[in-house]
Amino acid sequence: MNNPPVLYIVIPCYNEEEALPITSKRVAALTDDMIAKRIIAPESRILMVDDGSKDRTWEVIAGLCRSDARFEGVKLAHNAGHMNALWAGMRMVCEFCDALVTIDADLQDDVNAIYGFLEKYREGCDVVYGVRKDRSTDTAFKRTTAQGFYKLMKRLGVEMVYNAADYRLLSSRALKALLSFGEVNMFLRGMVPMLGFKTATVEYARGERVA
């Protein structure tokens, strides 16, 4: 890979008007640094998907798009849910990117892990999962229910990456393969491992919501 890849960062948003001013600055700074270091191409973009928010989320996104060419936005007609918002964003950018990263707007997932994602991508991985180092920030109830969830999925025969959420990188060919699934009720954490491409994981520490 001689030329840096065009990367799209897709961020689903639901009632995130307080978080987006902080999130946008952090993600923009990250992309600027990666472009300066020739890790990603200057054509790389940040797509924010408004999942039918009831607050000023869309106004914030529209303002970012007007003031900064790095940002793009799409507004869903109604609240379709997190998975559908991710799906819509992925479909929007599929033809324009070499790789895509999905991350939630609250930035509990460490954006700096994207450097590691792209390192694995350059090594030939088509799927890179962001994996939490531990669940020390969770309540005891949350840790117990999370462990129960993964055990149940395993018993049902669902292949999943432990402690991986919807923070991941997909190459364009992995993305196209994923989008070819004719699913209606989507569960991306179970669908992505079914693709069969070369994968890797990058560990990160999960933080608090930015707002």
Strands 7-13 and 45-50: parallel
Residue 47, both tokens: 């797509």
> Range with the lowest mean pLDDT among 2-11, 38-47, 70-79, 155-164?
155-164
pLDDT in tens, 104-152: 999 999 999 999 999 999 999 999 999 988 655 555 655 566 565 545 5
Question: What value, to the nearest 5°, has the Cα angle with vertex 91 and ends 209 and 167?
Answer: 30
- Rg (the chain; Cα; Å): 17
Distance of alpha carbon 56 from alpha carbon 47, whole angstroms: 17
Burial class (CB in 10 A: 0-12, 13-18, 19+), 129: buried
Residue 178, both tokens: 């994923």
Distance of alpha carbon 94 from alpha carbon 83, whole angstroms: 16
First to last CA, the chain: 38
pLDDT in tens, 38-90: 999 999 999 999 999 999 999 999 999 999 999 999 999 999 999 899 999 99
User: How many C-beta atoms surround the C-beta of residue 25 within 10 A?
Assistant: 11
Q: What are the beta bridge partners of residue 169? A: 101, 128
Residue carrying the six token digits 């309540």: 139
